[in-house]
Amino acid sequence: SLPLLQAARKRNSLNLLALNEAELEEQFVRGDGPGGQATNKTNNCVVLKHIPSGIVVKCHQTRSAEKNRKIAREILQEKVDLFYKGEDSDVFKEKKAAEKKKQEKKRRAKANLERKKLFKEMQELDKK
């Protein structure tokens, strides 16, 4: 189920399971990484745990604790949805669709490169 959880944080998912605030455990901790004093002295990193599933999300994307709370809840909602629905989840389906689109784009680029290479070879043969 680990690869499923990594598919989370994809947008446009409207059909997600709702989170019950009573099932959440929230903590504010000091963030880590670059940022110096702004990071090291403030507790604006949110750690959110969904107690029934045991899923933990840590969010420190902004300097605002409120924004981090909102983002953490969105991420957690998507991960919980993936945890319970698995491959039937909208998040999983979006991830698969994006992956397929990316592969198709790669295939087209490779085919285009081959055509260009053949064209150059044909031009060199015509010169001789």
DSSP labels for 24-49? Answer: EEEEEE---SS-THHHHS---EEEEE
* pLDDT profile of the chain (128 residues), mean per 10: 50 68 90 75 90 92 90 90 83 86 96 94 86
* pLDDT number for residue 11: 52
* pLDDT number for residue 14: 59
- The model carries a pTM of 0.64
What's the pLDDT tens digit per position in 56-91?
A: 999 998 888 899 999 999 899 888 888 888 888 777
